[in-house]
Amino acid sequence: MMTMMKRQLVRLGNRSSRFIHSLIDEKFLLEFSSSTADGSAPVFIQKPVIKQENDGKRLIFECKISAEPKPDLFWSRDDVSIQNSGRYLIYCDALPNNAYVACLEIDDVNTSDGGKYKVLAKNTLGESNAQITLNLESKLFTMDN
């Protein structure tokens, strides 16, 4: 046990002496190594943009995020949470190099959908958010007869 502890002390080198007391407990080495997290907190590599489909009846808010592990997404409009149901579809697809394309799709768009949209990307290492404002005018949604 003493030889093992000396080897462990040598590997730690000249780090703070507070580690020496913790080395007596073998559990410390496991905790120390597991607390060194692999991966990265979410970072927006492309801020949200708005795309139109189906003659403007569907809007897609799209952004790109770099993160590891994959982030959870939370979308809101004017600080009200948007749920992944009904007219709303929320998804996050993997890209190469720990990147993801995060989307919010809105079907049957109408003037009440205007407002400030915010996306929060969150994983075990941190979080980041981005926002975009959707301005709609009623004349965009009139139908020619």
Spatial separation of the C-alpha atoms in residues 7 and 13, rounded to whole Å: 10
Segments forming the whole domain that contains residue 12 = 2-34
Tell me, yes or no, whether 11 and 47 share the same domain: no
Burial group, residue 85, by CB count within 10 angstroms (0-12, 13-18, 19+):
exposed
- 74 and 119, same domain (yes or no): yes
Domain count, the chain: 2
- The structure's pTM equals 0.68
**The domain spanning residue 63 has which CATH number?**
2.60.40.10
Q: What is the pLDDT of residues 58-91, one digit of tens each?
A: 999 999 999 999 999 999 999 999 999 999 999 9
Neighbours of 48 (CB within 10 A): 21
7 with 48, same domain: the answer is no
Question: Does the pLDDT value for residue 101 go beyond 60?
Answer: yes
In 3-state terms, what secondary structure has residue 80? strand
Q: Are residues 114 and 82 in the same domain?
A: yes
pLDDT tier at 19, thresholds 50, 70, 90? very low
